[in-house]
């Protein structure tokens, strides 16, 4: 397994744990759904389809655009009720030894719709 894959899996797991601490239910989507890592259900009937990018460098606009297209395509396949209750989100997970309460991870929401 490549170091990029290991780092990506660690970032996804850390973000899942971070959201579960908020009371959300988190379901893994990757690798069965390309372009989406997690499905997050909150207690209010809202769902998020999340792509977690665990990169050492900032995300460039091209990479963000590619991820947006994939996430929106997944959302567009849903029926009307679920489509209205679903947000698509790109999160940049960054190792930060000074991050408090997230086991050394910092999470930056890069994009969300709606």
Residue 110 has pLDDT above 60, yes or no: yes
Given a contact cutoff of 8 angstroms between Cβ atoms, the answer to whether 52 and 91 are in contact is yes
Give the mean pLDDT of 79-100.
89
Residue 21 has pLDDT above 60, yes or no: yes
Looking at the whole model, is its pTM more than 0.75? yes
For residue 105, count other CB atoms closer than 10 A to its CB.
Answer: 20
Given a contact cutoff of 8 angstroms between Cβ atoms, the answer to whether 12 and 28 are in contact is yes
Q: Which of 3.40.1350.10, 3.40.50.800, 3.40.50.300, 3.40.50.10140 would CATH assign to domain 3-113?
A: 3.40.1350.10
């Amino acid at each position: 397994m490549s170091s990029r894959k290991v780092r990506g899996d660690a970032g996804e797991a850390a973000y899942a744990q971070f959201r579960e601490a908020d009371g959300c239910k988190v379901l893994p989507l990757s690798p069965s759904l390309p372009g989406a890592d997690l499905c997050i259900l909150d207690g209010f009937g809202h769902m998020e389809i999340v792509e977690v990018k665990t990169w050492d460098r900032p995300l460039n606009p091209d990479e963000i655009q590619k991820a947006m297209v994939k996430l929106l395509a997944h959302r567009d396949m849903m029926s009307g009720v679920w489509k209205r209750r679903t947000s698509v989100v790109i999160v940049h997970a960054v190792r930060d030894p000074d991050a408090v309460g997230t086991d050394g991870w910092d999470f930056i929401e890069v994009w969300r719709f709606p």
